[in-house]
Amino acid sequence: MATLRIPNRNVTLRHPSALRQFLDARGIVHERWSAGSDLAFASTNEQVLAAYDHVLKPFMEKGGYQTVDVIRVDGNTPNLEVIREKFIREHTHSEDEVRVFVEGQGLFWFHMDGHDDEVFALLCEQDDLISVPANTKHWFDLGDSPNVCAIRIFTNQAGWVPHYTNSGIDQRYHW
Ligand SMILES: [Fe+2]
């Protein structure tokens, strides 16, 4: 279950209903999914997609999503530092960024224009679905020991191109 942290207010939210209320107020979709079958450690991409197919398919049909893939990042990933750098700088996308965490964890940082420039972090773990709304400033922190497997759901993969803000705000916050 995800944990939400608001560093500037020294607040941490763990209770599902408090967390849901906070995210709802900001237009951020968070759901809890569960695999339809047990997934072995380091399952293939096909096994991952098959295990979540019962929730994935209706979600995609309802939301008009077109494509899906599986991403894995860990200490053995080639070009790890390049990938880390790409994710960890504040950016936006022209479409929603939808991820379902399957293994490991990752930290989504949000920077909300309409809420006093508030910055908060959502630690996502197995079975957390998060949808970062289009044009919302955010960055993704893999942490010091990257280990994450996630399903990525797209309306159009071209819409996921990051538009960097170059604000430098990402350097003021740490996992
Ligand atoms: Fe992003």
pLDDT, tens digit, 9 for 90 and up, residues 137-166: 999 999 999 999 999 999 987 777 999 999
Mean pLDDT of the chain: 94
State phi, psi for 4 to the nearest 5 degrees: -110, 135
* CA 95 to ligand 1 centroid distance, Å: 10
* CA 133 to ligand 1 centroid distance, Å: 10
pLDDT, tens digit, 9 for 90 and up, residues 51-67: 999 999 999 999 999 99
Q: Which amino acid is at 51?
A: A
* CA 138 to ligand 1 centroid distance, Å: 6
> Do residues 172 and 88 touch, judged by C-beta distance below 8 A?
no
Q: Supply 134's token pair.
A: 């289009």
Q: pTM of the entire structure?
A: 0.94
* CA 160 to ligand 1 centroid distance, Å: 7
Separation between Cα atoms, residue 123 and residue 3, nearest integer Å: 5
* CA 140 to ligand 1 centroid distance, Å: 7
Q: How many residues does the chain have?
A: 175
Place of tokens 């939400």: 4
CA of residue 138 relative to chain centroid, distance: 10
Contacts of 60 (CB under 8 A, 6+ apart): 66, 68, 153
